[in-house]
Amino acid sequence: MRKKIGISGNLLFDTGGMFPGYARAYVNDDYVDAVIMAGGTPVILPVNKDADVIDEQLTGIDALILSGWYDVNPQLYGEEPHVLLGDVCDRRDCFDAIVIQRAMEKRLPILGICRGIQILNVVFGGTLYQDCSEAEGSYIKHNQEHIPNRVSHSVHIVPDTELSYIMGDKTTVNSFHHMAVREVAPGFRVSAVAPDGIIEGIESTNDNFVLAVQWHPEMLHRKNSEMLALFQLLVAKAEK
CA 228 to chain centre: 15
Of the residues 153, 177, 216, 221, only one is catalytic, namely 216
Q: What is the pLDDT of residue 163?
A: 97
Q: pLDDT tens, 136-183?
A: 999 999 998 889 999 999 999 999 999 999 999 999 999 999 999 999
Q: What is the pLDDT of residue 143?
A: 93
Residue 240 has pLDDT above 80, yes or no: no
Of the residues 114, 132, 142, 178, only one is catalytic, namely 114
Confidence of residue 218 (pLDDT cuts 50, 70, 90): very high
pLDDT, mean of residues 215-237? 97
Confidence of residue 17 (pLDDT cuts 50, 70, 90): confident
Strand runs (DSSP E) across the chain, as ranges?
4-8, 10-13, 23-26, 41-45, 63-66, 110-113, 128-129, 153-157, 170-173, 180-181, 188-193, 199-204, 210-213
Does residue 218 carry a catalytic annotation? yes
Q: What is the pLDDT of residue 228?
A: 98
Length of the chain: 240
Question: In percent, how much of the chain has pLDDT > 70?
Answer: 100
Does residue 216 carry a catalytic annotation? yes
Q: pLDDT tens, 28-86?
A: 999 999 999 999 999 999 999 999 999 999 998 999 999 999 999 999 999 999 999 99
The secondary structure element, H or E, covering residue 29 is: helix 29-37
Does residue 105 carry a catalytic annotation? no
CB-based contacts of 175: which residues, under 8 Å, 6+ apart? 140, 141, 142, 143, 144, 152, 153, 214, 215
Of the residues 142, 178, 218, 221, only one is catalytic, namely 218
Q: How far apart are CA 62 and CA 60, in angstroms?
A: 7
Mean pLDDT of all residues belonging to the chain: 96
